[in-house]
Structure 1
Amino acid sequence: MSDWRLLLTRPAEDCAALAQTLAAQGIFGHCLPLLAIEPLAETPEQRSLLLDLDRYDAVIAVSKPAARLGLELLDRYWPQPPARQRWFAVGPATGALLEAYGLDAHWPEHGDNSEALLALPAVQALLNMPDAQVLILRGDSGRDWLAAQLRARGVRVDFLPLYRRVLPDYPAGTLLATLREQALNGLVVSSGEGLSNLQQLAGAHWPEVARLPLFVPSERVAELARAAGALDVRNCHGASAAALLAALADQSESR
């Protein structure tokens, strides 16, 4: 796997952690964060949802920023979390934050995506409850597919937007210069939004960038990448470091 030299695009803190994990396996990763987290100002709508938190049977945190910001608000409005409420996370890193807080948290052991979350027995039990209500902690967009699946099963779903993800301000030509200077031979994005920002930063150089192997977390993002013109899309079946390492190992063995 050590011949891979990857562009990593997660938010800065996550990017640095991923680069360190890859380095321990002899894989070079260069960080160029394409997503920055900006907390949203609290609104009356947010406050209302939080004050009524105990009416939800379950709360889903879709990311580590959603968990961190959501727990800060939970601390502010609820000295004790609502009893008998279940909390879910899409992946283990987010789930660990919830569990460390002392919540009854559940997340998929295999696959950190919406599909794996829906397959959890605890979520299936929730789907069978009459008049179930779920609150999804997220950014200002995302996880619409997850909400649609829950609603199709009769679950009432509300969103609590806590942050927005923006493309950091880079000088023109930064992406291509970075790829060349660091001799990178692969790209990693963790979401559809990250893919969109990659295209935006590439600008007129996107056709050249799109020839590189592109590692993505799910088939949905893979389809977006192919539609955008990416020529070598590789589905990691998850956004975790372990999922990326497994995909890299598979690709190396198939060479």
Structure 2
Amino acid sequence: MKVLLTRPKGSNELMLRALNDKSIEAIETPLMEIKPALPCQSVVLQLPQADKIIFISQHAVHQFRSLFKVLPDRCQIFAVGQRTRQALQKMDIRSVSVATQRQDSEGLLMLEQLKSVEGEAIIIVRGQGGREKLASALTERGADVHYCEVYQRVLPKLHQSDISKYWQQQGVDTILITSGEMLLNLLKLVESKQQAWIKRCNILVPSDRVLKIALNEGFTRVFNAEGASQSAMLSTIDKIIDTLKE
């Protein structure tokens, strides 16, 4: 097995180390680049009055911290997953509610603290664009929801023919994907000559939603890790290895 790691630069080191500990070869090609973005000024003015602030990713935490040094004392803080929670803890924010059953919008919506939110002001800190599921559901529950978009996601500058040929030459057979956007970026970088090869690779995805995208795009070996965390991805890799032994 040879694994391709695709998270943004600086986010793959722990997984590389964990795979090395298992004697699994891996290479890194970030399929997404994170760049700062200035949030809407009207939302910035609303931050001190927020009842709840939800951070969608560790990148949201890092970019938010570069713009705002402190959070309102009175508000409740939420994180979509453990990596986001850990990033908040590095800001000395210890009281963070996190999705446990699922590390995504659906998981957050299961939390008791987000079920009765009528009349509350909620700020979602995220990148530009993305899913509307969380905001729509909270709005239906009666909350006043606004986005604080602190970063943008762009496709890194990679030469299409060179990079896809390099992956194949390196013997990549397993690819870790943590978002639908990242999966689509992967396809943009694969030349027609490598399409048949890439779609035979093991594709690890974090959710049913991304699983459906992968299947619709013609991938034949798609595995739902049911989370984007390192532990979820590693567990799924172990299961793939077990099936190869059978």
* Deviation at residue 131 of structure 1 after TM alignment: 0.7
Please say if residues 207 and 229 of structure 1, whose CA atoms lie closer than 8 Å, have aligned partners that are also in contact: no
Give the aligned residue type for 1:18.
M
Q: Quick check: which one's helix share is greater?
A: 1
For 1:64 and 1:30, locate their aligned partners in 2 and report how far apart those are by CA, in whole Å. Answer: 22
Query: 1:101 is paired with a residue of what secondary structure?
Result: coil
For 2:61 and 2:183, locate their aligned partners in 1 and report how far apart those are by CA, in whole Å. Answer: 23
Query: What is aligned with 2:86?
Result: 96
Query: What is aligned with 2:102?
Result: 111
1:147 to 2:135 alignment: yes
Q: How does 1:46-85 map onto structure 2 within 5 Å?
A: 47-75=41-69, 78=70, 81-85=71-75
1:216 to 2:205 alignment: yes
% identical equivalent positions: 29
* Deviation at residue 249 of structure 1 after TM alignment: 1.7
For 1:27 and 1:149, locate their aligned partners in 2 and report how far apart those are by CA, in whole Å. Answer: 41
* Deviation at residue 110 of structure 1 after TM alignment: 4.3
* Deviation at residue 231 of structure 1 after TM alignment: 1.3
Query: What is aligned with 1:227?
Result: 216
Give the aligned residue type for 2:123.
L
TM-score w.r.t. the length of structure 2 is: 0.91
* Deviation at residue 147 of structure 1 after TM alignment: 1.7
Query: What is aligned with 2:147?
Result: 159
Alignment counterpart, residue 7 of structure 2, candidates 5, 10, 21:
10
Please say if residues 56 and 124 of structure 2, whose CA atoms lie closer than 8 Å, have aligned partners that are also in contact: yes
* Deviation at residue 172 of structure 1 after TM alignment: 2.8
For 2:25 and 2:113, locate their aligned partners in 1 and report how far apart those are by CA, in whole Å. Answer: 38
1:198 to 2:186 alignment: yes
Query: 2:150 is paired with a residue of what secondary structure?
Result: strand
Query: 1:94 is paired with a residue of what secondary structure?
Result: helix
* Deviation at residue 55 of structure 1 after TM alignment: 2.1
Structure 1 residue ranges without an equivalent (≥5): none
Change (3 A) 1:69 1:55: same
Please say if residues 127 and 152 of structure 2, whose CA atoms lie closer than 8 Å, have aligned partners that are also in contact: yes
For 1:152 and 1:130, locate their aligned partners in 2 and report how far apart those are by CA, in whole Å. Answer: 9
For 2:209 and 2:62, locate their aligned partners in 1 and report how far apart those are by CA, in whole Å. Answer: 26
Please say if residues 8 and 15 of structure 1, whose CA atoms lie closer than 8 Å, have aligned partners that are also in contact: yes
* Deviation at residue 156 of structure 1 after TM alignment: 2.1
* Deviation at residue 152 of structure 1 after TM alignment: 2.3
Please say if residues 62 and 137 of structure 1, whose CA atoms lie closer than 8 Å, have aligned partners that are also in contact: yes
